């Protein structure tokens, strides 16, 4: 076996039928339909034909394209019909040769082989009109990119090239592609059929997905031009990564697919137009199934509209309704029987080793690869197959005319490509009830159909729901569509699209001045994009690290405050507790405990209750504590410095419980301030976009609360300044009564933290504000609890001998004697 034969064996199986070529063939037809078709017709003046199959080793067994195999069989069926025909090319036999171009990776090699002479040499000449290459016509390839690559070589020789599924309108340019003809309508008609389908169902808000090759780019641009005149907007356009023919997906490509499907799920558009070869779609639809994206209307281009491999992925029925544009369904009599007969024609040869086996013998065991598709191929009808079938017959009729054939014989002479090209352009015959002729641009006017994929095994897999006539350029015979929705109804996709828009390069651009629908506040959009996506609601959550840290601090603060309450309760009658404030200590400790228990209101989605607690409850708790500190500092100074100077005022202060009256008055004043703020600003939670990340919607209490916070905090700050002043005045008091340093620490920390929080909230707006607000609240609680009561608990527990009346009397006596 040569290297070419070995390459075939490593790839595909359905070529055992090529082992024995027709003997004494006069014309030689070659081609490929496994990954992309390329056929050639060869004028063999010697009357012998050698049948070969050329294959590059890159392609693997699992790359086989079922539709390609079906088209190959259509070509072979047409050749056999013509060879058995009594009146068409009498006395002339056609042969064929098949080459796999592997989508686009193996174009140049077979073209050079076809253009070479019998000696495998390709001469460089000024005039090729008298040059007879190995072939006189080429049928294929099946995609526009490969067709153009091949055409640039063949056009130099004016060698006829008939493609059956390359739809690019660039091929209509006869200056660049003078030898290209098509048995399929151009892309203009395909786009017009798509757009008319959208107009019929009133879809004006769509998504476009394209492959990263010329096919995807060119067709998406053409679609945009058609959409512009119908006020149909493209929500967004994404590029699908093209994997290698063996379907290998890189991590980057996998991540791109994940992002694309996530974007589909976020978008409000539900009509998705996909321009891509089937090669790029298998992994994409697997990701669609993986993310459970449903409820879409998928509009397929002709490249995958009737692809049987994707249809066998039956789970796709859960993702929505599949519509596609394809050529009209035809019936080729005897073709189904021929295809099945060929698949069963030969059994594997026994006792053959791999070393001596031919490619076709080794590939016999692979027959089952396409056996599961024979039913769907039969039921779906001969659509693209008819394009191949008619292309072969076109070449045959042109040869019939060129060779001057009658009912019994044809002239035996050398056929030059340019001569055959002129005859092909003039053909006009009837094939299976359809007229075959080419227009000035080399296109065969055939009808298109809109088909819907049916998942019911009892029905045709591709049900025709509308027809498109190229002469009328109008969608007709529109039938009922079975929508894959709970109530079998179609959701009319209505977006908003300002007039005066045009599509350029796949993006909507303004021609002069146009208005676009702004996204709602809870949605966002990409730059230069017309699609809106739901923002992700963000708030302080329990599982976040900052939350866990702050909650841990709050829990420790609550337990320590509770321990202080217990210690002070057990030593309530001792001088240490009485000097700290006595009953007023519990007036300070109780709000601290309650405030600790209310810390969880900062976590989770804000509610009216949680916002009320944040804006009112905490600030009142702090005011009670700070007013107690302030009045405590004032009372100590009065006892030691003002009682003797103003005995009557001091008597009134003690008799009417001045400290408690002061605390009550300050608390009432604070309540009035808080109530006024709440009346002026709602406690309803609100949402606002994060300026740093448009995908995020921050959920918080009233964002204007920073103004109220500054007003609420102003009274506390005044109390802090007063308490600090009184504490500083009493810095020379006896040690047991000198609380200046403790009060100073608490007041200074509260003052600086409050000012810092207000400053931060004035320049930053995000989730971090909530985190910092909660952290400052907890730290202030800890500062008041541990900063003031902590040292006293330490003295009570560590130095009980100092917590006696005698010790305190001695300290007072020493202070008095020192002043004297």
C-alpha 114, offset from chain centre: 44
* Confidence band of 11 (pLDDT split at 50, 70, 90): very low
pLDDT at 709: 63
Q: What is the mean pLDDT of residues 377-387?
A: 76
746 CB burial (10 A radius; 0-12, 13-18, 19+): buried
pLDDT at 339: 77
Contact 592, 786 (CB under 8 A): no
Q: What is the mean pLDDT of residues 455-478?
A: 87
* Residue 766: DSSP 8-state: S
Ramachandran quadrant class, 275 (left: phi over 0; alpha: psi -120 to 50; beta: rest): beta
Q: Which neighbouring-strand residues pair with 553?
A: none
Helix (H) or strand (E) holding 192: helix 187-200
pLDDT at 140: 86
pLDDT at 641: 61
Q: Is the model's pLDDT at 127 over the cut of 90?
A: no
Contact 618, 674 (CB under 8 A): no
Which of 638, 336, 322 is closest to 453 using CA atoms? 322
- pLDDT, tens digit (0-9, with 9 covering 90-100), for 723-752: 777 776 766 655 555 566 666 677 777 777
Q: Is the model's pLDDT at 508 over the cut of 70?
A: no
Name the phi and psi angles at 468, rounded to 5. Answer: -125, 125
Distance (Å, rounded) from C-alpha 197 to C-alpha 466?
9
- pLDDT, tens digit (0-9, with 9 covering 90-100), for 517-572: 566 666 666 655 555 667 778 888 888 888 899 999 999 999 999 999 999 989 88
Please state, rounded to an integer, the average pLDDT across all residues of the chain: 77
Residue with the larger pLDDT of the pair 9 and 475: 475
Q: What is the mean pLDDT of residues 351-355?
A: 39
- Give the three-state DSSP class for 761: helix
Q: What is the mean pLDDT of residues 755-772?
A: 75
Residue with the larger pLDDT of the pair 798 and 713: 798
pLDDT at 242: 82
Contact 319, 298 (CB under 8 A): yes
C-alpha 8, offset from chain centre: 38
* Confidence band of 378 (pLDDT split at 50, 70, 90): low
pLDDT at 435: 94
Give the per-residue SS3 of 328-344.
CCCCCCCHHHHHHHHHC
pLDDT at 120: 79
Say what the pTM is.
0.59
**Minimum mean pLDDT range among 46-60, 391-405, 480-494, 633-647:** 46-60
Which residues, including other chains, have CB under 8 Å from residue 99's CB and lie 6 or more apart? 30, 31, 32, 38, 40, 53, 54, 55, 106, 110, 113
* Confidence band of 387 (pLDDT split at 50, 70, 90): very high
DSSP conformation letters of 233-296: EEEEEEEEP---TT----HHHHHHHHHHHHHHHHBS--EEEEE--GGGHHHHHHHHHHTT--SE
Q: What is the mean pLDDT of residues 415-426?
A: 94
CB atoms within 10 A of CB 106: 23
- pLDDT, tens digit (0-9, with 9 covering 90-100), for 426-435: 999 999 999 9
pLDDT at 531: 59
DSSP conformation letters of 578-621: HHHTTHHHHHHHHHHHHHHHTGGGGSSS--HHHHHIIIIIHHHH
* Residue 443: DSSP 8-state: B
Tokens of residue 3, six digits: 């290297």
Distance (Å, rounded) from C-alpha 210 to C-alpha 238?
6
Q: What is the mean pLDDT of residues 213-241?
A: 89
Q: Is the model's pLDDT at 7 over the cut of 70?
A: no
| All structural domains of the chain | 23-184+333-339+360-437 (3.40.50.2300), 187-331+446-476 (3.40.50.2300), 545-810 (1.20.1070)
How many DSSP H helices and E strands does the chain contain?
Answer: 27, 24
- Residue spans of alpha helices (H) in 730-803: 740-763, 767-784, 790-798
Contact 478, 465 (CB under 8 A): yes
Distance (Å, rounded) from C-alpha 87 to C-alpha 77?
17
Distance (Å, rounded) from C-alpha 793 to C-alpha 494?
71
**Minimum mean pLDDT range among 318-332, 590-604, 628-642:** 628-642
Tokens of residue 205, six digits: 């808000």
Distance (Å, rounded) from C-alpha 617 to C-alpha 624?
11
Q: Is the model's pLDDT at 373 over the cut of 50?
A: yes
Q: Is the model's pLDDT at 174 over the cut of 90?
A: yes
Task: Specify the residue for token string 């100092």.
Answer: 802
Contact 524, 695 (CB under 8 A): yes
pLDDT at 556: 93
Task: Specify the residue for token string 């976020």.
Answer: 266
Name the phi and psi angles at 82, rounded to 5. Answer: -65, -40
pLDDT at 282: 87
């Amino acid at each position: 076996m040569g290297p070419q034969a070995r390459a075939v064996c490593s790839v595909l199986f359905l070529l055992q039928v090529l082992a024995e070529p027709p003997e004494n063939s006069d014309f030689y037809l070659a081609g490929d339909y496994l990954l992309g078709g390329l056929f050639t017709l060869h004028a063999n003046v010697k009357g012998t034909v050698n049948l070969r199959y050329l294959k590059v080793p890159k392609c693997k067994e699992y790359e086989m394209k079922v539709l390609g195999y079906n088209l190959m069989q259509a070509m072979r069926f047409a050749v056999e019909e013509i060879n058995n025909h009594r009146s068409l090319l009498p006395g002339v036999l056609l042969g064929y040769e098949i080459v796999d171009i592997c989508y686009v990776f193996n174009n140049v090699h077979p073209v050079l082989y076809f253009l070479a002479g019998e000696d495998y040499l390709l001469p460089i000449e000024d005039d090729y009109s008298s040059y007879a290459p190995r072939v006189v016509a080429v049928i294929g390839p099946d995609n526009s990119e490969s067709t153009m690559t091949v055409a640039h070589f063949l056009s130099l020789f004016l060698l006829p090239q008939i493609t059956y599924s390359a739809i690019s309108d660039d091929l209509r340019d006869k200056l660049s592609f003078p030898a290209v003809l098509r048995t399929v309508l151009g892309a203009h008609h395909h786009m017009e059929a798509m757009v008319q389908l959208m107009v019929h169902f009133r879809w004006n808000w769509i998504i476009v997905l394209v492959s990263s090759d010329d096919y995807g780019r060119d067709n998406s641009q053409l679609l945009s031009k058609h959409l512009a005149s119908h006020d149909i907007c493209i929500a967004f356009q994404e590029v699908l990564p093209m994997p290698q023919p063996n379907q290998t997906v890189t991590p980057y490509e996998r991540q791109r697919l994940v992002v694309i499907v996530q974007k589909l799920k976020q978008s409000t558009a539900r009509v998705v137009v996909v321009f891509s070869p089937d090669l790029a779609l298998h992994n994409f639809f697997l990701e669609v199934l993986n993310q459970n994206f449903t409820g879409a209307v998928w509009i397929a281009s002709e490249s995958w509209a009737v692809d049987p491999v994707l249809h066998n992925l039956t789970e796709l029925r859960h993702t929505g309704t599949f519509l596609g544009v394809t050529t009209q369904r035809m019936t080729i009599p005897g073709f189904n029987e021929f295809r099945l007969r060929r698949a069963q024609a030969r059994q594997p040869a026994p006792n053959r080793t791999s070393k001596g086996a031919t490619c076709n013998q080794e590939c016999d065991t692979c027959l089952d690869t396409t056996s599961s598709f024979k039913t769907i191929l039969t039921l779906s009808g001969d659509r693209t197959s008819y394009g191949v079938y008619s292309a072969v017959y076109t070449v045959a009729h042109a040869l019939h005319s060129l060779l001057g054939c009658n009912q019994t014989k044809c002239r035996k002479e050398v056929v030059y490509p340019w001569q055959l090209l002129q005859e092909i352009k003039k053909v006009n015959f009837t094939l299976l009830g359809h007229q075959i002729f080419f227009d000035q641009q080399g296109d065969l006017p055939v009808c298109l159909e809109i088909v819907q994929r049916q998942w019911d095994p009892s029905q045709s897999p591709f049900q025709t729901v509308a027809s498109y006539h190229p002469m009328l350029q109008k969608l007709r015979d529109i039938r009922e569509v079975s929508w894959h929705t709970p109530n079998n109804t179609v959701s009319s996709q209505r977006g908003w699209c300002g007039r005066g828009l045009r599509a350029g390069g796949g993006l909507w651009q303004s021609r002069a001045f146009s208005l676009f629908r702004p996204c709602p506040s809870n949605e966002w959009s990409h730059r230069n994009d017309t699609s809106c996506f739901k923002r992700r609601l963000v708030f302080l959550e329990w599982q976040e690290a900052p939350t866990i840290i702050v909650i841990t601090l709050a829990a420790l603060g609550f337990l320590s405050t509770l321990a202080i309450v217990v210690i002070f309760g057990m030593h309530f009658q001792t001088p240490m507790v009485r000097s700290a404030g006595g009953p007023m200590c519990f007036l300070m400790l109780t709000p601290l405990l309650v405030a600790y228990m209310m810390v969880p209101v900062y976590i989770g989605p804000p509610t009216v209750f949680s916002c009320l607690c944040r804006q009112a409850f905490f600030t009142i708790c702090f005011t009670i504590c700070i007013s107690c500190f302030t009045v405590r500092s004032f009372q100590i100074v009065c006892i030691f410095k003002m009682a003797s100077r103003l005995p009557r005022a001091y008597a009134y202060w003690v008799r009417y419980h001045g400290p408690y009256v002061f605390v009550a008055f300050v608390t009432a004043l604070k309540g009035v301030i808080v109530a006024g703020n709440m009346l002026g600003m709602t406690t309803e939670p609100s949402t606002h976009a994060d300026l740093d990340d448009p995908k995020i919607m921050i959920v918080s209490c009233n964002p204007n609360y920073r103004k109220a916070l500054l007003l609420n905090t102003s009274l506390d700050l005044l109390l802090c300044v007063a308490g600090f002043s009184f504490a500083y005045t009493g810095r020379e008091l006896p040690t047991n009564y000198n609380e200046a340093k403790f009060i100073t620490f608490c007041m200074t920390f509260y003052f600086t933290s409050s000012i810092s929080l207000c400053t931060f909230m004035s320049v930053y707006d995000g989730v971090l504000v909530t985190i910092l607000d909660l952290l400052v609240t907890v730290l202030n609680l800890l500062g008041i609890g541990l900063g003031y009561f902590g040292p006293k608990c330490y003295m009570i527990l560590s130095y009980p001998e100092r917590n006696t009346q005698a010790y305190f009397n001695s300290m007072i006596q020493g202070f008095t004697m020192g002043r004297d």
